Amino acid sequence: MAVKKTKSPPAFGHALFGRGGPIGTLYAFLTTIGGPLVELLLRKRLKRGREDADRLNERRGIAGLPRPKGPLVWIHAASIGEALSVMRLVERLLERYPALNILVTTGTVTSARLLGERLPERALHQYVPVDRLPWVRRFLDHWHPDTAFWVESELWPNLVLETQTRGIPMVLLNARMSVHSFARWRRLPGFIRPLMKGFSAVLAQDEIEAGRLIELGADPVLTPGNLKFAATLLPADTDALAALKDRINDRPCWVAASTHEGEEEIATYVHNRLADDNKGLLTIIIPRHPARGVAIAAKLSRAGNTVALRSANQAITPDTGIYIADTLGELGLFYRLSGIALVGGSLIPHGGQNLLEPARLDCAILHGPHMENFRAIVNEMAARGGAAEVADAEELVKAVRQLLANPKMRSEMAAAAADIASTKEAILDTVLNHLDTVLASIAARARGDETAPQKNSLKNGSHAGP
């Protein structure tokens, strides 16, 4: 199949006016003339370890790899959580369409490393360009994707509008809109509506998200479910798992996973409250951002705790009370070890993390009150006894104490969570069936079928209302 190249608009002024209304025009103008400021911000991020020095040009739209021949699907996912939610989708798409190649873009260093290890053959990773119009155009000029799938809610205006201008079909996958983002966008209807109209379909996580997206101008909106609920099992190295099991032996153990600043201190408080009654208690803390591990270990050590740091290859000894697992891609390893898991990002106002990852790995699940990003599954878990909410550190002490003391309760809670997780497998098939409308025509053109439709749409799907 000959690659059909899309052309960038020839004139700067023509490209700006009419893009997202007056605010969109101003945004495009400012991000274009603000090149020196953007470069300064990139350098600051690089110093803080938030950019990849060897691949910084990708953030400027300069490709680090050649475009593969044949049809190319571009999937943009903001970071690790979004990327992991579409990993099974990537695998299934490649199985279903043997001529297809997939480009996955993200914006974080940790997600790039993880995808570099896990993406299958015919799938590749690049950093998404910073949303500056010349860099966006450079990116699209090189990759000229046949279609673009955006994941969740990271809507970069220049990137969305420029992709739309080139006639590249776009679908918003696993779409959501947080309460705060929804409130902000509602104040800018002339800006958000052109962005939403660029998508031939929006596949929302649930009816609540669908209602918000419809109000912002999305049409059509479908509700196949949350792809994070159909994600594959988190992997674990078998040798590492065996070695850790040997180290821990029969010590009581629990994990505080994907923690954010402030939650490590809460987990440590719980550990110290329970250590006397649970001889040998091991608390495993897994920071959401592994780069924080060294600082967390130092802070907890200064407070008198016996801490070991995984990234420094410090072994778990009989005296180790707290183990900081500050490595990338090992969450599945520690869920398999613990049996009791606090899902982080929930004791502080962050919105929570995915409960179904520990649910698939035989964990009794605890979480704080701030689970706004996963409210539907939280409600289902609560109704069926698969997870328990704790309001604060004292309630967490009580919940962990109870689960450590009552293995039968732990097992029943974990079984209920696993049962809920198993019912979500069909979501992926539903999403794939919706995407077939776009991808079948691309595959047909790859086979040389000139009668295949050139414009792709999912508009035959049913609407979901608020």
146 vs 23 pLDDT, higher one:
146
Backbone angles phi, psi at 224, to 5 degrees: -75, -15
Three-class SS state of 234: coil
In this prediction, residues 16-32 reach a mean pLDDT of 76
Query: What residue ranges define each of the domains in the chain, with the CATH number in brackets?
Result: 12-226+427-446 (3.40.50.11720), 238-422 (3.40.50.2000)
> Which residues, other chains included, contact 175 with Cβ-Cβ below 8 Å and sequence gap of 6+?
152, 153, 202, 203, 204, 205, 209, 213, 218, 221
Examine the residue annotation and report whether 215 is marked as an active-site residue of this protein: no
pLDDT at residue 188 above 50?
A: yes
pLDDT tens for each residue of 367-414: 999 998 888 889 999 999 999 999 999 999 999 999 999 999 999 999
Percent of the chain with pLDDT over 70: 91
Percent of the chain with pLDDT over 90: 77
pLDDT tens for each residue of 90-117: 999 999 999 999 999 999 999 999 999 9
**How high is the pLDDT of residue 449?**
56
pLDDT at residue 416 above 50?
A: yes
In this prediction, residues 248-266 reach a mean pLDDT of 97
Q: Are 370 and 350 in contact (CB under 8 A)?
A: yes
pLDDT tens for each residue of 120-163: 999 999 999 999 999 999 999 999 999 999 999 889 999 999 99
**How high is the pLDDT of residue 20?**
67
Q: Are 416 and 365 in contact (CB under 8 A)?
A: no
User: Which candidate, 90, 194, 197, places its Cα nearest to that of 151?
Assistant: 90
Name the amino acid, one letter, at 264. Answer: E
Angle among Cα 43, 46, 50 to the nearest 5 degrees reads 135
Where does the pLDDT of residue 1 fall: very low under 50, low under 70, confident under 90, or very high at 90 and above?
very low
How many whole angstroms separate alpha carbon 242 and alpha carbon 265? 29
From 51, 58, 82, 263, the catalytic residue? 82
Three-class SS state of 64: coil
Where does the pLDDT of residue 186 fall: very low under 50, low under 70, confident under 90, or very high at 90 and above?
very high
How many whole angstroms separate alpha carbon 377 and alpha carbon 383? 10
Both structure tokens of 31: 């991000």
> Which residues, other chains included, contact 6 with Cβ-Cβ below 8 Å and sequence gap of 6+?
140, 144, 166, 167, 168
In this prediction, residues 320-324 reach a mean pLDDT of 98
How many whole angstroms separate alpha carbon 100 and alpha carbon 95? 9
For tokens 């994941």, the residue is 151
User: Which candidate, 150, 151, 148, 217, places its Cα nearest to that of 182?
Assistant: 217
How many whole angstroms separate alpha carbon 90 and alpha carbon 230? 13
pLDDT at residue 3 above 70?
A: no
**How high is the pLDDT of residue 438?**
83
Q: Are 259 and 287 in contact (CB under 8 A)?
A: yes
The CA dihedral of 36, 42, 44, 48, to the nearest 10 degrees, is: 180
pLDDT at residue 433 above 90?
A: yes
For residue 47, the Cα-to-chain-centroid distance in whole angstroms is 24
For tokens 């697992």, the residue is 325
Q: Are 353 and 81 in contact (CB under 8 A)?
A: yes
Q: Are 125 and 116 in contact (CB under 8 A)?
A: yes
The model's pTM is 0.80
pLDDT at residue 265 above 60?
A: yes
Return the minimum-mean-pLDDT range out of 59-68, 172-181, 400-409, 448-457: 448-457
> Which residues, other chains included, contact 244 with Cβ-Cβ below 8 Å and sequence gap of 6+?
316, 333, 337
Where does the pLDDT of residue 443 fall: very low under 50, low under 70, confident under 90, or very high at 90 and above?
confident
Contacts of 38-42 with C-beta under 8 Å, sequence gap 24+, read: 38/130, 38/132, 42/130
**How high is the pLDDT of residue 19?**
61
Cα separations in angstroms, 126 against 77, 119, 193: 11, 12, 28
Average pLDDT, the chain: 90
Neighbouring-strand partners of residue 226: none
Cα separations in angstroms, 413 against 40, 257, 344, 419: 50, 18, 18, 10
Q: Are 437 and 457 in contact (CB under 8 A)?
A: yes
pLDDT tens for each residue of 69-97: 999 999 999 988 899 889 999 999 999 99
133 vs 447 pLDDT, higher one:
133
Backbone angles phi, psi at 221, to 5 degrees: -120, 125
How many whole angstroms separate alpha carbon 277 and alpha carbon 252? 11
pLDDT tens for each residue of 326-355: 998 899 999 999 999 999 999 999 999 999
How many whole angstroms separate alpha carbon 234 and alpha carbon 147? 28
How many whole angstroms separate alpha carbon 58 and alpha carbon 105? 10
